[in-house]
Structure 1
Amino acid sequence: MSQFIKQFTLCILIALSLFSAVANAEGIKLKSAELERVDNDWLLNATFKIELSPGLEDAVQKGVVLYFQTEFDVTRSRWYWFDEKPAMAQRLTRLSYQPMTQQYRIASEGFTFSAKTIFEALQAVGSIGGWRVIDGSQIDASKSYTAALRMTLDLSRLPKPFQVNALNNRDWNVTSDWVRFPFLPTGPNLIKR
């Protein structure tokens, strides 16, 4: 009987680990980020890996438009007062599906792109290149800062019936964690995961 209990326990542990691996596969994860100085400004180049649940993929193919919000900020710790936030930036990227052309359409800040597959479309949504996030006049080159970056699925822009569904369904709450990294205006600023 004890052999049966051991085998049963082992099967349960394997099933739980497979379930957690599937649950962790979906979402948004930062793969790399780099702050690059161009003239007096700082541009962000970043890559996110985005994986949607089958329900979200199906919703996009049925005409639901998804909006992904990318947020960036720079802070400097101060012992005597609240942290200073000299720079903040937000960017909205729109993902939709066009049934007539059978293509996904990505739009962000005047840039549009078409993709044949959801995989290509999500790669385009997760690729950020040359985004101006810091004006050189906003920071002091002699001080060190902390940069923070994240991407989320903006549920507030969904149609109202889907917003209600999103509140009750974890599959619709797609977000990355805030990733914080040191930002030195005089040095290289690169993060890879």
Structure 2
Amino acid sequence: MSRRIKQFLFLCLMVLGFFSTTVNAEGIKIKSFELEKVDNDWLLNASFQIELSPGLEDAVQRGVVLYFQTEFDLSRARWYWFDEKSALVQRQTRLSFQPLTQQYRIASEGFTFSAKTIAEALQAVGSIGGWRVIDNAQLDPSRSYTGSLRMTLDLTKLPKPFQVNALNNRDWNVSSDWYRFPFSSNSPNLIKR
């Protein structure tokens, strides 16, 4: 191979590597979570890192409301049938832009917050504190469970024309992977950082 061909191939690989890292930068990742037992309940505190594509940011600034759904699932494996679902809870967080005040508005379960920048707004969307996910009465202390946690952009809440676009556009499918962990009701607080 000539030197020019090697340089060209090297340049192509660098460009492909750059695009693959920028594509993977967008999405949702779990930064930290903690399950703490308070009285008879288990409360979830979590932090997600959310990065939107430029197209999604533009859509929010043009008036499209985004709904993020956080799901927590607690199940117990059974050899003879499907897994037993001990707890399944969901939480919806709404992100919108107010053009008159030039601020982003975040709303979830009666809580509202305003932010000046999209970065502050996404940080507020990704912060969960004191969310009741498990009632200790639902659990058998002698059994072990598997907990699962994730956050997604709920495409079903988008206006219909955007739902069609979201099916064809990878930038609109924003989701974290399921994070699964072992859980026992007699264990102390569970922390992942």
Does TM, scored on the shorter chain, surpass 0.5? Answer: yes
Task: Give the deviation of 1:7 after TM superposition.
Answer: 1.2
Q: Where do 5+ consecutive residues of structure 2 fail to align?
A: none
Aligned positions, number: 192
Q: Deviations over 1:71-103 (max 9, x none)?
A: 110011122222111101000000000011111
Task: Note the aligned Cα RMSD (angstroms).
Answer: 0.9
Measured in 2, the distance between the counterparts of 1:20 and 1:60 equals 25
Measured in 1, the distance between the counterparts of 2:190 and 2:81 equals 26
Instruction: Say which SS state the counterpart of residue 4 (structure 2) adopts.
Output: helix
Q: Deviations over 1:148-178 (max 9, x none)?
A: 0110000110011111111111111101111
Letter of the 2:58 partner, please give it: D
Q: Deviations over 1:4-51 (max 9, x none)?
A: 222111111111110010000000011111111000000001100000
Report runs of 4+ in structure 1 exceeding 4 Å deviation. none
1:126 match = 126
CA contact (8 A) 1:181 1:191 kept: no
Instruction: Say which SS state the counterpart of residue 167 (structure 1) adopts.
Output: helix
Measured in 2, the distance between the counterparts of 1:162 and 1:76 equals 37
1:39 match = 39
Q: Where do 5+ consecutive residues of structure 1 fail to align?
A: none
How does the TM-score come out when normalised to structure 2? 0.97
How does the TM-score come out when normalised to structure 1? 0.97
Q: How is 1:89-168 mapped onto 2 (pairs within 5 angstroms)?
A: 89-168=89-168
Measured in 2, the distance between the counterparts of 1:13 and 1:161 equals 37
Letter of the 1:118 partner, please give it: I
